[in-house]
Structures are given as C-alpha cells and as structure tokens.
Structure 1
C-alpha cells in the first residue's frame, strides 16, 4: 500500500509523508463497510487520528480517477497505480511511520470442488507472481 497523490499535488516529488500530515489532507476511501475502509480507519486509529474524508467510492478505479483529478489523496495498492506513476499522472509516497505498509489479503475456495481451468490459471499466476503465497497442491481438474 502506498500514499497516492495527483501529479500537481504539493507532495508530488516527496519520498514520504507522515500519518499526521495525511490526516490533514482531503482523503478518499473505499465505501463504508468494506474491508479496505475498515483497514484504513484502523491504521489512522493506531495513531489516535481520523482521516479528513471527502469522498467514498465503491470502485478502486473510480477512486483512482478522483486522485488523478486532484479531488484528494488516498492509500491504494501500489500495483493499481504503478503505471499511472510511470506516466507521471500520480506520485507515490511511503508512510513514514510504516514504510513497508502491507495489507493481508486472503484467498478462499471450496476444497470439495476442484477449480475450473480459469480458476486454476488464476491460482497458478498468483503463485508465479507472488511466490510468498502458500497454496496447497491442487489436484488436476477433472470434470464431474
């Protein structure tokens, strides 16, 4: 997870920002009730802070567009905005208090039903790109 600001934001070019500075900025979040919203609010609460929320979005891509248009800043997965940063549309910063900010995501599936070929391809890609993911060996797909 990284702090994401638009290319014209005063923080563009900075390597990092403090959670205390972040709490004073117009902040964009996912919708209430989402795990991401709860995670962000929990992060601020660890420092006895609350973000200054100016927008809630049910779609991370819509949230990204709001950042591109200068409506506010947010915390987003680096993979979602990496290409925007390479094009110079956004700037990514680390959080000074937690420079290696990570979220734990969980992957669930039914063990009594083998994954179809598309799901199997996704799981193989996941393990290939993220070797730290510990998946059990899946039996070959068999039609029932």
Structure 2
C-alpha cells in the first residue's frame, strides 16, 4: 500500500500540487492559500482534487465551514512541507556558494515579542538586503499551531511549549514589571510590598498568554492572590486601561520600551520584576537553513546587544539591566 502510494505520487503529483496542499495545510483554508499563492479558489480546489485522485485517497473534508485534513492528507502535507523546506535550504546554500545572500527567513512570534523583533530585524535586513523576511504575529495558541506544522524557520516564545518536540535557545531577558499611571499613589513610593500590590485592582492578560503563565507561577510561588478586576487580550488595551485608571498590571518591559509608555511608570515592587526569557524555537526534525543559522548567530550577539542598549537608553529599565 505504502509502495503504491509513493509510486502514484512520484508519477502523477506535481510539485505545484504539493506546494498548494502544504500552503492550505499551513494557512488552514483554501481562501487564504489562494490569496497567498495568487491563484483563484477554484484553481486551488481543482489542483487538490487532482492530487487526491492521484493518490487514491481523500485529503481533506469540509465540516460546516471548517476545513479538516484526513490522516493521509496531513501526512502528505507534512512531508511536502519538509520537501519544500529542504528545497529552500538548498537554494540558499547554492546562493551562498555563488557569493549571494538570497532566500527567505520565516518567523512566527507571539504578540508581546512583536515590539522588539522588528528592531532586531532592521540591521539584519540592511546587511542582507536580498533576504525576503516573512513575519507572522499571533497569540500563543496560533503560534503553537504553526510550530506543529513546521513551515517557519523560527518561533519566538517566552515559554516554549513542552508537548512539541523542539530545539529551544534563550536569547534575551523578558522582565515583567508592574505598571501604573504616573498619578497613582503607589507611583511615589520607593518600595511597595506584594501585599500592597495585591490590594489594588489588577488587569490580567487572557488565559494561555505567556505573560499570564509567568504571573501565575510567580503568584503560586509567593502564595499571593491578586485582586483581578478585568481580563484583557491585548497589551495595548491593558496599557490604555491602566492609563485610564482602571487598575494596575504586570507586563513585559518590552511592551513599554518599544510600544510607548506615555503616562505610565514602573512600580518599585519587592521581588519584581518577574524574570523570564525569550526563546528561539524550531522543530527538532528541521535543519536550519544557512540564512536561519546566520540569523540565529546575529540574534545571540548583535541583536541582543541592540535591545539591551535600548533598555538602558529609555529609562524604563529593570533591575537586571541597570
């Protein structure tokens, strides 16, 4: 059976059909794939139908408006993803041999890291202007889903998922600080106890957020319960809610350093900031392309120094970087 499937694929399936299938699998819908590939939806559907007929198996099914891959469709899509990953890596290795710097670097990052990742990318793009950067930003659940499909070079998390087989490397501190409006009574205090912090109305990130995960671990460690008044899914919305006097919060210092902090101050709370780190993550089964490997070296050296120097320059800094 497996031998016949391989023979059918090699005889009838085209690279274009496999590319379409892998794109639909990665993006989750025929509409999104057609827009990404600059094809019409009927063309995408027709090519997938031809591929399905070639292998003699159904690749996906529609349940309501939701596209769900069959086991065979998922296996072929994942194999196709690996094939195109190897072809992309080969292209960049050949480009390196020609003395060129070409190809693509694909990054998927959780929302909080979107504040500093572009600042890292700027100098890297200037150095390698021929590189096509594809940056996807999503919540933790969305980035984990992309990691499971393995279509990107790197995935940036503050807390890498433990149930996915990956390689992970820390590259930057991610200090979480308590913030309040400048007019808040606690803003004038030189030392604030955790008990005082717990009495204030608190604005919390949503369940599943890496920031919330770190805060909950901190609360458990110190046997502390916060006075949570509101759950908000956006760092920007939390900042504006704090500015409006709806409560105080704990956020990554990166959201303030690179996302703006007008009207906000860092509270001097004992045992804060909460110390976490940013991680570059990629599937263990995936080899790094030359460009990805070069970018990882850059991040660990110049990229990290760039972000840390910006921390020192702004004045809204944390104890670890003072």
TM-score scaled to structure 1, two decimals? 0.71
Q: State the alpha-carbon separation in 2 of the partners of residues 33 and 99 from structure 1.
A: 22
Judge which range, 64-73 or 121-130, deviates more.
121-130
Is 2:190 the counterpart of 1:15?
yes
Alpha-carbon distance, 1:71 to partner: 0.6
2-structure distance, mates of 1:107, 1:22 = 32
Q: Distance in 2 between matches of 1:44 and 1:17?
A: 16
Give the gaps of 5 or more residues in structure 2.
Answer: 1-175, 306-322
Determine the structure 2 residue equivalent to 1:105: 278
Partner SS state of residue 106, structure 1: strand
- In the aligned structure 2, how far is the partner of 1:129 from the partner of 1:113? 18
Matching residue of 2:201: 26
- Alignment correspondent of 2:41: none
Greater shift, 46-55 or 98-107, is seen at 98-107
Residues 60 and 116 (structure 1), Cα distance of their counterparts in 2 relative to 1, 3 Å cut: farther
1:95 touches 1:101 (CA, 8 Å); kept in 2? Answer: no
Assess if the C-alpha contact under 8 Å between 2:189 and 2:268 holds in 1: no
Larger Rg: 1 or 2? 2
CA contact (8 A) 1:13 1:91 kept: no
Determine helix, strand or coil for the equivalent of 1:28.
Answer: strand
Structure 2 CA distance for partners of 1:67 and 1:100, relative to 1, 3 Å: closer
2:205·2:233 contact (CA, 8 Å) conserved in 1? yes
Change in 2 beyond 3 A, CA 1:105/1:82: closer
Compare relative contact order (CA 8 Å, sep 6+) and give the higher one, 1 or 2: 1
TM-score by length of 2: 0.35
Verify the 8 A CA contact 2:178 2:272 in the aligned structure 1. no
Distance 1:120 1:17, change over 3 A: farther
Distance in 2 between the 1:23 and 1:99 partners?
A: 13
What is the SS of the residue equivalent to 1:36? helix
Residue 128 in structure 1 maps to residue 306 in structure 2: no
CA 1:56 to 1:99, structure 2 compared with 1: closer, same or farther past 3 Å?
closer
- 1:71, 1:129 → 2: CA distance? 36
Matches of 2:240 and 2:290, distance apart in 1 = 34
Report Cα offsets for 1:29-67 as digits up to 9, x if no partner.
110122221221221222212111111111111111111
Q: Quote the residue 2:267 is aligned against.
A: 93
- How many residues get paired? 127
